[in-house]
């Protein structure tokens, strides 16, 4: 089993920044790909960013390109999501997820999920 715990969410004004962290434990290894997803009230969970096991490949949803950066520190079993230039539309619960093997962007591709951290952006 793999356990994921997100932190770093909160309330921020539009244009501000937050850094989310996802600490992994259990049977996690550096061979796991990681992703960040989000879910706003009344909407489906959607892909935000993903990173390959070695950090060498990343990709982003179009609506966060140029504003968000995903990174990982395998020595700490932690994945980060730096969020800049936040907008009210970014308000959601943010989840990190893990899967063994290649990084992917569908919710159904991931086997392990954290409990989520709330991000609220005020206008």
Q: Where are the beta strands (DSSP E) in the chain?
A: 2-7, 10-13, 18-26, 32-39, 46-51, 58-60, 68-73, 78-83, 92-100, 112-113, 117-122
Per residue in 5-38, pLDDT (tens digit) is: 999 999 999 999 999 999 999 887 778 999 999 9
- Residues whose CB is less than 8 angstroms from the CB of residue 87 and which lie 6 or more positions away in sequence, other chains included: 14, 121
* Chain centroid to CA 88: 18
Listed in sequence order, the DSSP H helices in 56-99 are none
* pLDDT score recorded for residue 53: 83
Per residue in 78-88, pLDDT (tens digit) is: 999 999 999 99
């Amino acid at each position: 089993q793999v356990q994921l715990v997100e932190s770093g969410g909160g309330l921020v004004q539009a244009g501000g920044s937050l850094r989310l962290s996802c600490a992994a434990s259990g049977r996690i290894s550096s061979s796991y790909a990681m992703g960040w997803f989000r879910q706003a009230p009344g909407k489906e969970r959607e892909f935000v960013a993903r990173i390959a096991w070695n950090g060498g490949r990343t990709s982003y949803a179009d609506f966060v390109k140029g504003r968000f950066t995903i990174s990982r520190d395998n020595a700490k079993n932690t994945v980060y999501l730096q969020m800049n230039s936040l907008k009210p539309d970014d308000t959601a619960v943010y989840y990190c997820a893990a899967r063994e093997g290649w990084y992917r962007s569908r919710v159904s591709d991931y086997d392990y999920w954290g409990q989520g951290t709330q991000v609220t952006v005020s206008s």
